[in-house]
Structure 1
Amino acid sequence: MKKRDIILTTISIVALGLFLIYANSNFNPYQIRILNLCAIYVVLGLSMNLINGFTGLFSLGHAGFMAVGAYTTALLTMSETAKQRTFFLEPMISPLDKITLPFFVALLIGGLLAAFVALLIGAPTLRLKGDYLAIATLGFSEIIRIIFTNTQNITNGALGLKSIPNTTNLWWTYGTMVVTIMVMAALINSSFGKAFKAIREDEIAAESMGINLFKHKVMSFAIGAFFAGIGGGLLGNLLGAINPAMFRFVLTFNILLIIVLGGMGSITGTVISAFVVTSGLEYLRILDESINLGFIQIQGITGLRMVVFSALLMIVVIFFRNGLMGTNEFSWDKLFNLLKRRPFSKKGVGQ
């Protein structure tokens, strides 16, 4: 990386930090919640894009990995008193009922446990391709959710967990987002990233070049699951309460929507799309409520928000078939080249 690019990137990170200081002081809790969700969905989108976009694996098991991370982080950060108050139907197993760890340690363990589960799932499923892999990973995700629903003395079953410490804030979410972007960019630009892309383009050609397909697929799957677990942990400690019903297929679909809209195989597109989708859905809530224009009052229609949002998505997909960014990435060189462009001179081409 050029010295100029390092300086500009550092300035951008400092500017982000200043913005977070301003937001913490001047934004209301609702606005801060939206900002937190945007950053969390960037982490989740990048983790899924690594598997689906860069490696070309059609996986639909992300909600399951998020559940592992969310439950692990929540259980390890809850106080002993909170656990006793939450597990009133059946006592929590020992020694988990007495363990309370710092948030960072619990978050890391949640990510590692999600990666371990991905290794267990990946061994039998990653030899499948296409729709078969999607169905298999979706099935395992549902199995994880059902297990969490029926393990009363570990996850509190269908009642879920409450009194989870609200540790997640703007610094945690945006700090994790920046680290995730940096790790993903370094990984994609490494020899492993080139192997992932080769597998995506043509598995037979990649294998003939000496790339171990199964090894690299499992690696991509586990790394993506790790960051999905991290995102799930951040989400659980942001909301303060979780239950198995949160981690249905719809959650995976929302993340898939982000990476398709931004561009399969684009880190920049995922970041932009995560902010657009998350904030856009909230700003369109006005369509579900009554609008008073002073001289006339327009009655809101329940569900109109999703209709308009879906129509906008259809327009974007029609005109940007590869997503907003395709496989392109942001770079300072591209930005400066764009700014240096000048319109044609008045003399015309033939003069």
Structure 2
Amino acid sequence: MKRRDIILTIISIVVLFLFVLYANNNFNPYQNRILNLCAIYVVLGLSMNLINGFTGLFSLGHAGFMAVGAYTTALLTMSESAKMRTFFLEPMMSPLDKITLPFFIALLLGGLLSAFIAFLIGAPTLRLRGDYLAIATLGFSEIIRIIFTNTQTITNGALGLKSIPNNTNLWWSYGTMLFTLLVMIALINSSYGKAFKAIREDEVAAESMGVNLFKHKVMAFVIGAFFAGIGGGLLGNLLGAINPMMFRFILTFNVLLIIVMGGMGSITGTVLSAFVVTSGLEYLRVLDESINLGFVQIEGIPGLRMVVFSALLMIVVIFFRNGLMGTNEFSWDKLFNLFKRRPFSKKGVGQ
């Protein structure tokens, strides 16, 4: 990397730090919540893009890994009194009812447990391909959700968890987002990243060149699940309450929507799409409410924002079939080339 690029990257990180500092002190809780969700969905989108976009595995089990991370982090950060109030039907099993850990350790354990479960799931399922792999991972995700629904003494069953400490703030969200970005960039630009892309393009050719297909598929699957668990933990401690119904297939679909819209196999596209989709859904909420223009009042139509948002997505899919970025990535050279004026040719216009 050029010295200029390193300096500009450091400046960008400092600008992000200053923005988070300003937003944390001046934005209202609603605005901060949207910014938190944007950063969390960047983490979730990058984790899924590693599996689906860069490695070419059609996995639909992301909601299950998020559930593991969210429940683990929540259970380990809740106080003993909060657990007693929450588990009123059946008492929580010992010694989990008396364990309270710092947020960072609980978040890390949530990610590691998600990665471990992904390793167990990946061993039998990653030998499948295409639609069969999608069905298998979706099935395992539903199994995880059903287990959480029926383990009353561990997860409080269908009632879910309440009184979860609101540890997630802008510093945690954007710090985790930045860490995930750096890890993904380093991973994709390494020899492992090249092996992932080779598997995506042609498994037979990759294997003939000496790439261990199963090893690299499991690696991508486990790393993606780890960051999905981290994102789930951040989301659970942001919302303050979770239940198994939150982690249905629709949650996986939302993350899949982000990476498809941004570009399968593009880190930059995932970041842009996460912010566009998350903030766009909130800004379009005004369509569901009455709009007073002063001289006329337009009655809102419930559900109109989803219709408009879906129409915008269709436009993007039609005109950007590979997503907003395709497989392209941001670079400082490309940015500066946009502002450079090309010199006129010495030849005549008609020549």
What is the TM-score of this pair, normalised by structure 1? 0.98
Q: Partner letter of residue 206 of structure 1?
A: A
Partner residue, 2:81 = 81
- Aligned-pair distance for 1:3? 1.2
**SS at the partner of 1:326?**
coil
- Aligned-pair distance for 1:346? 11
Unpaired runs of at least 5, structure 2: none
- Aligned-pair distance for 1:72? 0.2
Q: Partner letter of residue 44 of structure 1?
A: L
| Aligned: 1:61 with 2:61 | yes
Per-residue CA deviation, residues 275-334 of structure 1 (Å, 9 max, x unaligned), is 000000000000000111111111101110000000000001100000000000001111
| Aligned: 1:187 with 2:187 | yes
Provide the rounded CA distance (Å) in 2 between the counterparts of 1:171 and 1:162: 23
**SS at the partner of 2:295?**
coil
- The alignment covers a number of residue pairs equal to 351
Q: Give identity over the alignment, percent.
A: 89
Partner residue, 1:277 = 277
Provide the rounded CA distance (Å) in 2 between the counterparts of 1:292 and 1:343: 51
Provide the rounded CA distance (Å) in 1 between the counterparts of 2:37 and 2:343: 40
Provide the rounded CA distance (Å) in 2 between the counterparts of 1:245 and 1:207: 40
Q: What is the 5 A alignment of 1:74-113?
A: 74-113=74-113
**SS at the partner of 1:300?**
coil
Closer, same or farther: CA 343–253 of 1 in aligned 2, 3 Å: farther
Q: Partner letter of residue 119 of structure 1?
A: F
Partner residue, 1:296 = 296
Closer, same or farther: CA 344–297 of 1 in aligned 2, 3 Å: farther
**SS at the partner of 1:315?**
helix
Closer, same or farther: CA 295–58 of 1 in aligned 2, 3 Å: same
Provide the rounded CA distance (Å) in 1 between the counterparts of 2:296 and 2:250: 37
Q: What is the 5 A alignment of 1:202-241?
A: 202-241=202-241
Q: Partner letter of residue 70 of structure 1?
A: A
- Aligned-pair distance for 1:341? 3.2
| Aligned: 1:4 with 2:7 | no
- Aligned-pair distance for 1:350? 3.9
| Aligned: 1:266 with 2:256 | no
Partner residue, 1:13 = 13
Q: Partner letter of residue 116 of structure 1?
A: F
- Aligned-pair distance for 1:347? 8.7
Partner residue, 1:40 = 40
- Aligned-pair distance for 1:30? 0.4
**SS at the partner of 1:57?**
coil
Provide the rounded CA distance (Å) in 2 between the counterparts of 1:227 and 1:112: 9
Q: Partner letter of residue 84 of structure 2?
A: Q
What is the TM-score of this pair, normalised by structure 2? 0.98
Q: What is the 5 A alignment of 1:299-310?
A: 299-310=299-310
Q: Partner letter of residue 19 of structure 1?
A: F
Q: Partner letter of residue 143 of structure 1?
A: I
Where do 4+ consecutive residues of structure 1 move more than 3 Å?
341-348
Two-structure CA RMSD over aligned residues (Å): 1.2
Provide the rounded CA distance (Å) in 2 between the counterparts of 1:97 and 1:67: 19
Provide the rounded CA distance (Å) in 2 between the counterparts of 1:283 and 1:11: 30
- Aligned-pair distance for 1:25? 1.5
